[in-house]
Amino acid sequence: MASNAASAVKQPPKRKYGTRDLLRLITTNASPKKGLFILGILLSFVATICSLGITLMLKDFIDAFNHGTSGQLLGKLSVVIIVQLFSSVASSFLLSYTGVDAVSKLRSTLWEHIVDLPIPYFDHNRTGELSSRVVNDTSTIFELISSQFSNAINGVISIIGSLTLMLLLNFKLTIIILIVVPLMALIIIPMGQVLARISKAIQKETANLNSASVQMISQNRLVKAMVAEKPLKQQGTDQVNRIKGFSVRQIKLISFLNPILNIMLLGAIFVIIVYGGVLVQTKALTIGSLVAFLMYAVQMISPLSSVTGLVTAVQQTVGATERIDDILDSPVEDKRLGGDTLSTIDTVNFDHVNFGYEADKPVLKDIDLQINRGERIALIGESGSGKTTLVSLLEAYYEPTSGSLDVNGHSVSSYTIPSIRDQIGYVSQEVDLMPGTMRDNLLLGSTTPVSDERLTTLLGQVGLGDWLDELPAGLDTDVGERGLNVSGGQRQRLAIVRALVRKPSLLILDEATASLDNQNQERVTQLLATLPAELTTITIVHRLNQIEAYPRILFMEDGQITGDGDHETLIATHDRYRDFYRLQYQHG
């Protein structure tokens, strides 16, 4: 209970990630279908061997063609081509399927882990970066599994096989290739490492752009209202230009690398053709052997880029692994599923509770508070006085830094988290609805069946009955992203109904009528007055025009409860409350 909120987001010391971490992430969290993957690799191996064999058969075919005995070879060649085609298609499908399946499992694991992370984690991490981890970084891993790895395996097989057959065909010609290939490798490997670093920088800047765009799009109304389009455009342009700068460096290197390699390859082929032509003239080499040698030379050199590309891809994916591990290594919320089940909330007792989001910055100070079942409480105070933090402790989003919080005479830590939150209906001032229909939102998290008649009745009680009747789709109306297809006041009332559908024993309203006009505010007030007498309500109040209706008022200042009583008592005994009331109510 005395744990610090900051400890929930304390990160372990950074360490250097490597290939071993990548393999661990893939095998542990992606769980690729090993059987299909191995079969795909084997078929890829068969396809590569067939490709090498086709070249060797073409040699025999060309040589035999000159003697008129190529018919039988043509039939064999056709069979090998068919086998090579089948193996390539099957291998490509199986490896791609393995990659899709693995990345789907990884994304599901990552998604489920993020859903289970505690509130303090989200206090310290940006939404856009988390979404980039789920989409972009997992795509990098998919590319490695489904494409890069198999291409590199095929490349290695092709290089070894081609080199072996070239040595068998003509040792002297092979020496030329053995001189060229190391020279090409001396260029490709360091350039590949530079490209990997640039690619990692592009990934990082792309994640930053994704994060910024999510914030900009979600706050588009604020941007318009503050006429902030110009600085936001400049911010986006600067971010895009940073990505462009790295991308330009990348294409410069690639534009330089490819022509150099092509020239070296053409040079080697030219020397082979000239020297091979001499060997053909002297009868030391057949035309078929020369053609086959040239084809093997290409089959040996071309895969070099895929082999070195694997090194680059692994380095890129190691970076993605580190970022994904940062999430997966973050402890999920302890829901205390082995604890007791809370079936109702009768009493709540804060006993000298202190709390701070950071150890040296207390937000709540020595809170002593007893709440009994059925009480209607108004919680007021200036912004930043700790009102929302106080109710956040009730929701078990955080644990007290010191002191104890008891429910029904037992520590709140003895109950399971889901059962605590099942007993609490919470409506915030800033209401965001989930994507989907009105029914989806009203039944969000509901574990028991709720009839449409009950939903319709509750909507009517908060003044949404006529509006619901006018909607062609009724409860199946799509509320839009973040509920933007409905007005702010309608979202607020939908949120109130959503909280009441749960039949909670404690209802917390964080200025839940702030977006309503006087008529609908009165309707909601009347609805709350008809709620069961045993339902406890805590209302965070900013507009004090109906404050006299609350039998108990808690006044908070600087993280402390300095006033506790009804309106008349506080007006008479609490100077700060009296000033607060007169300023906000009498002078609007």
pLDDT value for 341: 94
As given in the structure block, the two tokens for residue 385 are 């006085």
Buried/exposed code over 508-538 (b: 16+ C-beta within 10 A; e: otherwise): bbbbbbbbbeeebbebbeebbeeeeeebbbb
How do residues 547-583 score in pLDDT, each as one tens digit? Answer: 888 899 999 999 999 999 999 999 999 999 888 888 7
**What is the mean predicted confidence (pLDDT) over 41-60?**
84
10 Å Cβ neighbour count for 115? 9
How do residues 345-379 score in pLDDT, each as one tens digit? Answer: 999 999 999 999 887 889 999 999 999 999 999 99
Does 302 have pLDDT greater than 50?
A: yes
pLDDT value for 269: 81
pLDDT value for 119: 87
- pLDDT-derived band at 404, boundaries 50, 70, 90: very high
Does 8 have pLDDT greater than 60?
A: no
As given in the structure block, the two tokens for residue 406 are 């008891």
How do residues 126-144 score in pLDDT, each as one tens digit? Answer: 777 787 788 878 888 877 8
Residue type, 134: V
As given in the structure block, the two tokens for residue 523 are 């309707």
- pLDDT-derived band at 222, boundaries 50, 70, 90: low
Does 1 have pLDDT greater than 50?
A: no
pLDDT value for 70: 57
Does 538 have pLDDT greater than 80?
A: yes
Q: Which helix (H) or strand (E) holds 588?
A: none
pLDDT value for 338: 92
Give the rounded distance of the alpha carbon of 250 from its chain centre. 27
In whole numbers, what is the pLDDT of the chain averaged over residues? 82
- pLDDT-derived band at 69, boundaries 50, 70, 90: low
**What is the mean predicted confidence (pLDDT) over 123-127?**
79
pLDDT value for 546: 73
How do residues 441-499 score in pLDDT, each as one tens digit? Answer: 888 887 788 888 999 988 888 888 888 888 888 888 888 766 667 777 788 888 888 88
Q: Which long-range contacts (CB under 8 A, 24 or more apart) does 405-412 make?
A: 405/1, 405/348, 405/349, 405/350, 405/351, 405/353, 406/347, 406/348, 406/349, 406/351, 407/342, 407/345, 407/347, 407/348, 407/349, 408/342, 408/344, 408/345, 408/346, 408/347, 409/347, 409/349, 410/340, 411/1
Strand partners for 552: 377
**What is the mean predicted confidence (pLDDT) over 421-434?**
82
Buried/exposed code over 119-134 (b: 16+ C-beta within 10 A; e: otherwise): ebbeeebbebbbebbb
pLDDT value for 68: 56
Measured CA to CA, the distance from residue 190 to residue 184 in angstroms comes to 11
> Among 205, 322, 399, 511, which one carries the catalytic annotation?
511
- pLDDT-derived band at 256, boundaries 50, 70, 90: confident
143 in catalytic set = no
pLDDT value for 187: 78
As given in the structure block, the two tokens for residue 493 are 């009332």
Torsion angle (degrees, nearest 10) of CA 92, 93, 99, 105: -170
Quickly tell me which residue has 């040698």 as its tokens. 293
Does 412 have pLDDT greater than 50?
A: yes
**What is the mean predicted confidence (pLDDT) over 9-22?**
64
Instruction: Using alpha carbons, select from 103, 86, 14, 46 the residue that is nearest to residue 317.
Output: 103
Quickly tell me which residue has 């150890």 as its tokens. 359
Instruction: Using alpha carbons, select from 51, 49, 72, 42 the residue that is nearest to residue 60.
Output: 72
Does 309 have pLDDT greater than 50?
A: yes
pLDDT value for 351: 95
Higher pLDDT, 190 or 475: 475
Instruction: Using alpha carbons, select from 523, 564, 506, 571 the residue that is nearest to residue 544.
Output: 571
Does 528 have pLDDT greater than 60?
A: yes
How do residues 144-182 score in pLDDT, each as one tens digit? Answer: 877 777 777 778 888 888 888 888 888 888 888 888 878
pLDDT value for 5: 43
Percent of the chain scoring above 90 in pLDDT: 19
**What is the mean predicted confidence (pLDDT) over 200-224?**
73
- Are the C-beta atoms of residues 293 and 272 closer than 8 Å to each other? yes
Fold of 20-328: ABC transporter transmembrane region fold (1.20.1560)
Strand order of the β-sheet with 424-427 is 424-427, 506-510, 536-540, 376-381, 552-557, 560-565
pLDDT value for 9: 44
Strands 552-557 and 560-565: antiparallel
Percent of the chain scoring above 70 in pLDDT: 88
